[in-house]
Homo-oligomer: A and B are copies of this chain.
Amino acid sequence: MRRHNLALVLGEVVAAEPVSRAALAARTGLTRGTVSSLVEELLDAGLLDELAAERSGPGRPANPLQLNRSGPAGLGVEIEVDHISACVVDLTGSVRATARIPSAHRDAHPGVAVGRAVALARTVRAEAGLEVVGAAVAVPGVVAADGVVVRAPNLPQWSGAEIGPLFDGLPVTTANEADLAALAELWFAAGPPDALYVSGGVGVGAGIVLGGQLFRGVGGRAGELGHVVVDPDGPNCRCGGHGCLEQVAGQEALLRAGRTTDLDALPPHVLDGAARALGVALAGAVNLLDVPVVVLGGIYPRLGEPLRAAVHDRLCERVVHRSDVEVRLSALGPGGALRAAAASVVRERLRRP
């Protein structure tokens, strides 16, 4: 009960900070005495911070409360096929330090990338100077509910890998990159409560958001959009199939088709091909799930409005039950999943103080 009330008070601080004890009592329906006692405990735990007193009348001053910017922090790590990034967020979810390094480790044992990630994490932790209480790692692969990487077609040696134990003794969770990117859209960009979030990179993943919650599927492995078939006679894919979406609309496929190493230099016919493939795969997903919004993230926002408009047209041609499906470009950029990973740590701490 007390635990529940601690979380209740914290939730109201998140919603309304800076906020007085009296306002917290009014918002929670708890007595002022109870609130004061809970607040003391949260101050002691370093979760809350007391601002300078505002003397508004006689008696004890009403020190407003806010989340402690020097309190427990979360570490986020993203391991992609060709780079690694890390960041630390404080209790408010603000990024306090971030870094990114190129790292080619496609055919390496997971230990190689994780070793580099641990070193990079040490750098950002030192820069942030906060007490990191946990970490979450975003990976471009299917992650089971227990955190084991079931399969990462673009990191073939990662099947069955457990990342947590490799991480300096911190409590670590592992999650699919697209799922975290979808949460980023919800948490930091007021994203729609029912949407399919598509994350374009070397692979193409999706996070499904239904009723404001991430839909994970029975085994936590939902959203593998990149291996939806868009052309049964198409090129071989690293997953063992062929004609998968990411063989047409993934980053490497796009650069190969455009004979360039620069995403900004893709000719229109390459974008058209990607839009057609995304339209086919997304229409199938929308027909199945009945979601009104698709958000294109990862590398796709960089390809701009022409890609968005073409995907929208291709998609709507093939959706049978809605006259329109909104297609948006994510405003968060490719760092969304990383920030959501770090934020997931502090959100959990605030939910269970």
Contact = CB atoms under 8 A, between A and B. Distances in A.
A140 to B, nearest CB: 12
A269 to B, nearest CB: 16
B320 A288 contact: no
A81 interface: no
A151 to B, nearest CB: 6
A233 to B, nearest CB: 9
Contact of A220 (B285, B290, B318): B290
A317 interface: yes
A35 interface: no
A227 B292 contact: no
A218 B292 contact: yes
Contacts of A229: 230, 280, 283-284, 318
A253 B151 CA distance: 36
Interface string A272-297: 00001000110111011111100000
Interface string A222-252: 1111011111100000011100000000000
The A interface, classified by DSSP as helix, strand, loop or mixed, is: loop
A206 B224 CA distance: 19
Contact of A223 (B231, B239, B288): B288
Given A228-B284, A230-B232, A241 B290 contact: no
Given A225-B287, A292-B218, A153 B230 contact: no
A160 to B, nearest CB: 12
Nearest to A193: B218
Task: Classify chain A's interface size.
Answer: 35 or more
A216 B290 contact: yes
Q: Which residue, of A222, A283, A320, has the highest number of chain B Cβ atoms within 10 A?
A: A320
Interface of A: 142, 150-151, 153, 194, 206, 208, 210, 216-225, 227-232, 239-241, 276, 280-281, 283-285, 287-292, 317-318, 320-322
29 contacts: A142-B320, A151-B321, A206-B288, A210-B218, A216-B290, A217-B290, A219-B292, A219-B321, A219-B322, A221-B321, A224-B321, A225-B288, A227-B283, A227-B284, A227-B287, A228-B283, A228-B288, A229-B230, A229-B280, A230-B232, A231-B232, A232-B280, A239-B320, A240-B317, A240-B318, A241-B318, A241-B320, A281-B284, A285-B288
Of all A-B residue pairs in the complex, the 5 with the closest CB atoms, nearest first, are A217-B290, A224-B287, A228-B284, A221-B321, A142-B321
